[in-house]
């Protein structure tokens, strides 16, 4: 594979390593949580500030909340970003370089039912987390249960929600992606490729040039297929479809400022297994390039993010995916590298998914350590790879000593993210 940037910060820092080293290893930082046994880092800004969510500490069967958005800070202590009034759950999903995070929160209110009884009603809202305050996004007509997925440095956010929904039933409606321009207080909704009120569209990422990527329903013969696209918020109608192979479903997940796009595509006619891909949409004739797998025992890999140096992160399965058994990967210089092999042998960690990478090469995601699901940050060190022998927990040979119950919990955590 030929990326625009074939030499990364990591590659430059390891020029003097021995031939046994395959990449600069990383120092793993346990980002902790909010007292509970689960935390997840979803995004990281250019300065290394990580954001995500964490469960509350449970004491005598009770807790002050369920899950809250969190700004991870291993030096001063993690910051609970709170929720909307009377809310019990909030999640930070994306952050920009001004440390404005976005995500969603529930809100519990009381209203009178048809029998005159006061009942509690739970609603979900897209929110900003900024300066210790949780603020709702402005409402968009006929758009319910919105989730803000990311925000760029120009204060433009991307969302997903239910469009044309019955306002009394949050399960109604159809998924539609939307763009919110905070400076101009305007919304735009991305339409699916296929006609019909029941067709879906999603926006999954936005770069700092206001280019977006996502996927949507498309008619292929007599069937509905998933097609991916790139567009600019200046004109969402002028979108370019990312060509797939053999009409396979394709999921564009991230875009950098050079219009390099990554995601995953179904393998052959499979409805489950996927292979991670890369494509440079700035090329006159862009071509899909596949990233491969950890091994051929179970072919499934999914790219989650790409930085402006062309480094790609994500996860690759190594056994039946319903067990949640996967390993975090870094793809650079034409090679998919298992991040579990690039940390200290005695770390005790199993890294299951890398979710974001900044231009300094810092990576955040989720893994397992000490019987808990925990957020991590990886900082490149420039040191040689340690020869661990068989001591490292290797997802490629079954996940080491990670208990089956914990793997199942990781699978549940995997559902609480923007997209798979």
Query: Where residue 221 sits, what CATH number does that domain have?
Result: 2.130.10.150
Indicate the pTM of the whole model. 0.87
> Is residue 2 included in any domain, yes or no?
no
> Is residue 326 included in any domain, yes or no?
yes
323 Cβ partners below 8 Å, 6+ apart? 404, 407, 408, 411
| pLDDT (0 to 100) of residue 247 | 87
Give the three-state DSSP class for 279. Answer: strand
Cα(212)–Cα(203) distance, integer angstroms: 7
> Is residue 420 included in any domain, yes or no?
no
Cα(83)–Cα(69) distance, integer angstroms: 8
| pLDDT (0 to 100) of residue 16 | 29
> Is residue 358 included in any domain, yes or no?
yes
Residue 302: name the closest of 322, 268, 325, 329 by CA.
329
> Is residue 97 included in any domain, yes or no?
yes
What six digits make up the tokens of 86? Answer: 């009377």
| pLDDT (0 to 100) of residue 210 | 98
Residue segments in the chain with a per-residue pLDDT below the cut of 70? 1-24, 165-172, 269-271, 296-297, 319-324, 389-420
Domain total in the chain: 1
Q: Tell me the DSSP string of 143-155.
A: EEEEEEEEE-TTS
| pLDDT (0 to 100) of residue 297 | 64
188, 206 Cβ separation under 8 angstroms: no
Handedness of CA 116, 119, 123, 128 (dihedral sign): positive
Length of the chain counted residue by residue? 420
> Is residue 4 included in any domain, yes or no?
no
362, 379 Cβ separation under 8 angstroms: yes
> Is residue 1 included in any domain, yes or no?
no
110 Cβ partners below 8 Å, 6+ apart? 118, 119, 120, 121
Handedness of CA 191, 194, 197, 202 (dihedral sign): negative
| pLDDT (0 to 100) of residue 22 | 39
Which residue segment(s) compose the domain that 247 sits in? 9-384+392-415
List pLDDT tens digits, range 227-252.
Answer: 999 999 999 999 999 999 988 999 99
> Is residue 212 included in any domain, yes or no?
yes
| pLDDT (0 to 100) of residue 170 | 56
Cα(211)–Cα(259) distance, integer angstroms: 8
What are the start-end ranges of the H helices in 189-239? none
């Amino acid at each position: 594979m030929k990326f625009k940037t074939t030499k990364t910060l990591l590659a430059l820092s390891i020029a003097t390593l021995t031939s046994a080293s395959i990449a600069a290893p990383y120092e793993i930082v346990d980002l902790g949580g909010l007292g509970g046994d689960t935390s997840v880092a979803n995004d990281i800004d250019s300065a290394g500030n990580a954001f995500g969510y964490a469960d509350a500490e449970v004491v005598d069967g009770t807790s002050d909340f369920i899950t809250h958005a969190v700004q991870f800070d291993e030096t001063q202590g993690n910051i609970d970003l709170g929720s909307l009034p009377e809310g019990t759950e909030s999640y930070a999903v994306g952050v920009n370089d001004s440390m404005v995070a976005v995500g969603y929160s529930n809100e519990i209110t009381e209203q009178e039912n048809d029998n005159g009884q006061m009942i509690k009603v739970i609603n979900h809202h897209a929110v900003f987390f900024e300066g210790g305050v949780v603020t709702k996004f402005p409402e968009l007509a006929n758009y319910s249960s919105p989730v803000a997925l990311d925000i760029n440095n120009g204060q433009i956010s991307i969302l997903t929600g239910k469009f044309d929904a019955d306002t009394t039933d949050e399960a109604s409606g159809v998924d539609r992606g939307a763009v919110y321009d905070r400076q101009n207080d305007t919304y735009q909704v991305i339409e699916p490729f296929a006609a019909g009120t029941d067709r879906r569209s999603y926006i999954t990422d936005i770069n700092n040039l206001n280019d977006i990527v996502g996927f949507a329903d498309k008619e292929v013969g007599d069937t509905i297929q998933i097609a991916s696209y790139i567009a600019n918020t200046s004109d969402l109608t002028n979108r370019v479809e990312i060509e797939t192979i053999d009409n396979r479903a394709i999921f564009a997940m991230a875009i950098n400022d050079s219009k390099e796009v990554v995601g995953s595509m179904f393998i052959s006619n499979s409805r489950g297994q996927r292979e991670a891909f890369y494509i440079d949409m700035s090329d006159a004739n862009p071509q899909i390039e596949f990233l491969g797998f950890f091994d051929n025992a179970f072919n499934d890999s999914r790219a989650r993010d790409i930085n402006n140096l062309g480094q790609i992160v994500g996860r690759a399965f190594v056994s039946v995916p319903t067990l949640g058994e996967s390993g975090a990967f870094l793809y650079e210089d034409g090679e998919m590298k298992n991040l579990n092999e690039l940390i200290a042998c005695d770390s005790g960690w199993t890294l299951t998914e890398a979710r974001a990478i900044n231009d300094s090469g810092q990576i955040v995601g989720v893994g397992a350590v000490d019987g808990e699901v925990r957020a991590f940050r990886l900082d490149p060190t420039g040191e040689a790879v340690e020869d661990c022998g068989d001591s490292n927990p290797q997802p490629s040979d079954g996940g080491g000593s990670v208990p089956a119950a914990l793997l199942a919990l990781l699978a549940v955590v995997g559902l609480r993210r923007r997209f798979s």
